[in-house]
Amino acid sequence: MAHLLLLSSPLSISLCFFAWLQGFVVVHGNTNLTRSSFTPINRNLYHSSGDLMEEIKALVFRHPDRLTFDTIKSRNKGYSAEIAVVTYCRRRQETDDRPKFRILLSFGQHGRELITSELALRILSILSKEQFLPNLDPASLDHTLDKLLIKMVPMENINGRRIVEAGDLCERRNGRGVDLNRNWSVDWGKKEKDYDPYEENPGTAPFSEPETQIMRKVAMSFDPHIWVNIHSGMEVSGTRDSN
């Protein structure tokens, strides 16, 4: 599905440092610098957030028999967020009273984890049969998918993703500086030995952020048997499979 190229720790730190340095110079340095001074994202590897969501919408439009698209919005203390949710059911337009095994997949919780949203697009393309997995019997796959109901959040943290696309390549938090992975009620505010107050800001209270409020609403209404939250590693550079 995706290849991961492991990087040494010093190289990873260097890449993050120079990305931060360029952003710092643009914000605090010479005001005559243009946006081209920001570190660019390789568009041969990654879609922009807007282009990726448009591709997903187009995919849903082409396959209304198995895909639906919804947008959920929330707002808290002047800060707004919205999350797209795609639902997959292989025989959506047919009467089928059999119980389904419910799976929730969420991607892009941290803005810098670009490859996870690319994986979401790839999975949706496979579910729609616009792409195929090698060495897998299609009939066997269909038999399995008939038993499943899948909800997918391709990009949970679109506000944080836009900050990354503006040049801050190492940003993981949402649009107002909260780590969504620390904003849930489980162990909220707990500080591990390697706690970083900048990177892991849990917010003012559990579920203070619109993004986590939306995800809680989705999870409670869908009641999944399995929820998989997909991340990419801190010291990993991800590239999409060329096939």
Q: Residue 29's pLDDT band (boundaries 50, 70, 90)?
A: very low
pLDDT the model gives residue 225: 95
Q: What is the pLDDT of residue 222?
A: 96
For 118-147, what is each residue's pLDDT tens digit?
999 999 999 999 998 888 888 888 889 999
The pLDDT of residue 38 is 57
Among the listed residues 54, 49, 15, the one whose alpha carbon sits nearest the alpha carbon of residue 168: 15
Rounded mean pLDDT of 218-242? 79
Percent of the chain beyond pLDDT 70? 77
Reported as a single tens digit per residue, the pLDDT across 49-65 is: 999 999 999 999 999 99
Q: For residues 63-80, give the mean pLDDT.
A: 96
What is the per-residue pLDDT for 113?
A: 94
Domains of the chain: 2-240 (3.40.630.10)
pLDDT at res. 97? 57
The whole-number pLDDT of residue 215 equals: 98
Can you tell me the distance from the alpha carbon of 16 to that of 29, in angstroms, rounded to the nearest whole number? 19
Lowest mean pLDDT of 6-20, 174-188, 204-218, name the range. 6-20
Whole-number pLDDT of residue 54: 98
Going from the C-alpha of 235 to that of each of 4, 8, 11, 15, the distances in angstroms are 10, 7, 9, 10
**Prediction pTM value:** 0.78
